[in-house]
Amino acid sequence: MSLKAIIDGIIRDKHRSLSWLAISMGKTFDGLRLGLINESIKYKDILLMAEILEVSPCCFFNTEGLDADQNMVAEPAVEYGDLKSTLKSCKEMVATLKDQINDKERIITLLSKAQPDKL
């Protein structure tokens, strides 16, 4: 179910209109409508919308098809494997760059000792 359909259902149950919600949020009707259709609502706007509609923000998200013991956080675990390998690569890169800086410092020190009057 789309975000707009969910919001429309909540608004209908509360006997309100989308223009009322837009005004309450300080948004234009067209801006809010387009954001709902494209599902490009900011997090802070979702929280504000939930507060105005007096519902929990989690009711805006489709949880159909999830098992009782499954939650929305369980799926991105596959993504963490990529993040861990990326983090490892970054740590290796940082170590390499630190070694390069130390080598450059040693070269500068050696050059300054060899030719103190030219620096």
Question: Distance between CA atoms of 110 and 1, rounded to whole angstroms?
Answer: 69
Averaged pLDDT of the chain: 81
Domains of the chain: 3-58 (1.10.260)
List, in order, residues 6 or more apart from 54 with CB less than 8 Å away. 14
Tens-place pLDDT, residues 40-66: 888 899 999 989 998 888 888 766 654
Residues 3, 60 contacting (CB under 8 angstroms):
yes
Tens-place pLDDT, residues 7-30: 888 899 989 998 999 999 999 988
Question: Distance between CA atoms of 34 and 18, rounded to whole angstroms?
Answer: 12
pTM: predicted TM-score of the whole model, two decimal places: 0.51
pLDDT at position 68 over 50: no
